[in-house]
Amino acid sequence: MTRPHVLIIGCGFGGIEAVRKLAKAEVEITLVDRTNHHLFQPLLYQVATAGLTAPSLAGPVRHILRKEIKSGRLTILQAEVTGIDAVARHVTLDRGEVLSYDHLIVAAGATHSYFGHNDWAQHAHGLKTLADAFNIRARVIGAFETAERCVDDVARTPWLTFVVIGGGPTGVEMAGTFAELANHTLRGEYRRFDSRSARVVLLEGADRILGALVPSLSERARKQLEALGVDVRTGSRVTHIDAEGVTYETRDADGATKSHQLASRMIVWAAGVAASPLGRELERTADAKLDRAGRVIVESDLSLAGHPEISVVGDLAAAMSHGRGPPQPVPGVSPGAKQMGRAAAANLLRRLRGEPTRPFRYINYGDLATVGRSAAVADVPAPIFGHVRFSGFIAWLFWLFVHIYFLIGFRNRLIVLFDWAGAYFTFERHARVVATPAPPDREN
């Protein structure tokens, strides 16, 4: 008897957890991903800002799953999935190979969305992949290098104006770390300007940053950012981006809009996320319903309506948590993806045993956001108190502990701790070596 073949697309948090759960059962698994690594995305901004090297938070997926490979049940292919045929039950890869499946778990994640303004992409740099992080790193370091070559302040100022668009966790972390780079790491290293003269502006369309947190923590995070020297501008809606900089609108008390210009050569896009295009593929072939962000609406057990052999997990899924009380949307955070990956795999095994599947329930262990050096905010559900909310240095230590803890299985955590401890005490960021001879922003 041949084992049923489970095909898993994506080796993010959801895909890896699904493989681990399934590898103990009598199934044949194929994992397909475009890259050769699993990425600990919550720390990606540290690579983009030269605080950590890539191997500290990206592990070769073959190494992470080496035991599962040795068990003889897992094949990993580095390839891009270009099509899904839910009727014939197969997927097509970028070189035309066809892989049939008995069960399919789609964990293909999300990418950035420019809300229909794809021409903004060349000027406002997103942060989803390692390649994105290296791009931003080269541009930030390159902007300071270009500033040293400028002969006057008029030419120099746009290179020393860093604009971060989007006040979610990534935007807040990037803005805080840019300020640290300018005020500490690079201080004293330039002759023609003071690195502390660089400006960091954080633009957010809503009236507060970190909108997923309670307002009191948003306010504390804003104060912490401002203490680091970040210019936080909420209620600022971006209307245009080009090589010269950013145009945004604000609305005054009587509702009139006002337009503002910010000349900048270094813009980070942390505003919008769109689901993987494989969502559209499921819509086409399996009649899947998508939400406004392109995410696939799944059943309570994470499978697709009409296609119980297909499950969607992680950022590509618009899933609900079925706990006590009415169903709640699952937030797009890594614990959510992990829990979905495990749950989809468990339901798949239940199906194979002829048992009924179970609805997915998301367990929230807390919300955390870091603002920069020694500053963070935390909101942890506590059984009796309801919520414990705290901020500042203690929250930052807690954030550090949680992130180091979840790096298990990556590189030696001691090295990451070393890197961080070194960076903390010396302010130096060793990863600011850029391979490209010319700063890539030179052309823009």
Residues belonging to the active site: 173
Could you say whether residue 324 binds its own copies (CB under 8 A)? Answer: no
Could you say whether residue 439 binds its own copies (CB under 8 A)? Answer: yes
Q: Pairing state of beta strands 320-321 and 328-329?
A: antiparallel
Could you say whether residue 278 binds its own copies (CB under 8 A)? Answer: no
Tokens (6 digits) for 289 = 């319903």
Among the listed residues 46, 49, 129, the one whose alpha carbon sits nearest the alpha carbon of residue 404: 46
Could you say whether residue 27 binds its own copies (CB under 8 A)? Answer: no
8 A C-beta contact, residue 79 and residue 32: yes
**Separation in Å, CA 111 to CA 101, 126, 269, 391:** 26, 9, 12, 30
Map residue 32 onto helix, strand or coil: strand
Could you say whether residue 44 binds its own copies (CB under 8 A)? Answer: no
Could you say whether residue 97 binds its own copies (CB under 8 A)? Answer: yes
Could you say whether residue 438 binds its own copies (CB under 8 A)? Answer: yes
Site string for its own copies, 128-147 (x = CB under 8 A): -xxx-xx------xx--x--
The distance of closest approach from Cβ of residue 8 to its own copies in the complex, given in angstroms and rounded to an integer, is: 15
Q: Per CB under 8 A, which region of 77-85, 255-263, 273-281, 390-398 contacts its own copies?
A: 77-85
The distance of closest approach from Cβ of residue 137 to its own copies in the complex, given in angstroms and rounded to an integer, is: 11
Q: In sequence order, which residues have a C-beta less than 8 Å from that of residue 147 and are 6 or more positions away?
A: 156, 159, 160, 190, 192, 193
309: how many CB neighbours lie within 10 A of its CB?
18
Among 239, 261, 328, 412, binds its own copies (CB under 8 A): 412
Q: Please name the amino acid found at residue 19.
A: V
Question: In 150-214, where does DSSP find H-type helix?
Answer: 153-156, 169-180
End-to-end CA distance of the chain: give it in Å, rounded: 60
Could you say whether residue 80 binds its own copies (CB under 8 A)? Answer: yes
**Separation in Å, CA 311 to CA 33, 84, 293, 299, 346:** 17, 13, 18, 9, 11
Among 74, 84, 203, 278, binds its own copies (CB under 8 A): 74
Among 87, 96, 118, 188, binds its own copies (CB under 8 A): 188
Compare residues 53 and 364 and give the one whose CB is closer to its own copies.
Answer: 53
Could you say whether residue 83 binds its own copies (CB under 8 A)? Answer: no
Among 1, 2, 87, 95, binds its own copies (CB under 8 A): 95
Compare residues 149 and 289 and give the one whose CB is closer to its own copies.
Answer: 149
Could you say whether residue 53 binds its own copies (CB under 8 A)? Answer: yes
CB contact burial 403-413 (16+ within 10 A = b; e otherwise): beebbeebbee
8 A C-beta contact, residue 314 and residue 107: yes
Q: Pairing state of beta strands 110-112 and 273-275?
A: antiparallel
Q: Pairing state of beta strands 386-391 and 98-100?
A: unpaired
Map residue 210 onto helix, strand or coil: coil
Could you say whether residue 422 binds its own copies (CB under 8 A)? Answer: yes
CA distance 111 to 100: 26
Could you say whether residue 79 binds its own copies (CB under 8 A)? Answer: yes
The distance of closest approach from Cβ of residue 34 to its own copies in the complex, given in angstroms and rounded to an integer, is: 4
Could you say whether residue 431 binds its own copies (CB under 8 A)? Answer: yes
Q: Per CB under 8 A, which region of 74-82, 214-222, 245-253, 288-296 contacts its own copies?
A: 74-82
Among the listed residues 238, 246, 206, the one whose alpha carbon sits nearest the alpha carbon of residue 222: 206
Site string for its own copies, 353-382 (x = CB under 8 A): ------------------------------
Site string for its own copies, 112-131 (x = CB under 8 A): -----------------xxx
Among the listed residues 426, 427, 405, the one whose alpha carbon sits nearest the alpha carbon of residue 416: 405
Q: Per CB under 8 A, which region of 164-172, 205-213, 347-355, 406-414 contacts its own copies?
A: 406-414
Could you say whether residue 432 binds its own copies (CB under 8 A)? Answer: yes
**Contacts with its own copies: how many residues (CB under 8 A)?**
61
Could you say whether residue 192 binds its own copies (CB under 8 A)? Answer: yes
Compare residues 394 and 421 and give the one whose CB is closer to its own copies.
Answer: 421
User: Which residues on adjacent β-strands are paired with residue 382?
Assistant: 386
Among 87, 256, 408, 414, binds its own copies (CB under 8 A): 414
Q: In sequence order, which residues have a C-beta less than 8 Å from that of residue 163 and are 6 or more positions away?
A: 201, 203, 245, 246, 262, 264, 266, 267, 268
Compare residues 34 and 237 and give the one whose CB is closer to its own copies.
Answer: 34
Could you say whether residue 70 binds its own copies (CB under 8 A)? Answer: yes
Q: Pairing state of beta strands 124-125 and 230-233?
A: unpaired
Binding site for its own copies (CB under 8 A): 34-37, 53-55, 58-60, 62-63, 66, 69-70, 72, 74-80, 93-95, 97, 129-131, 133-134, 141-142, 145, 148-149, 186, 188-192, 411-412, 414-415, 418-419, 422, 428, 430-439
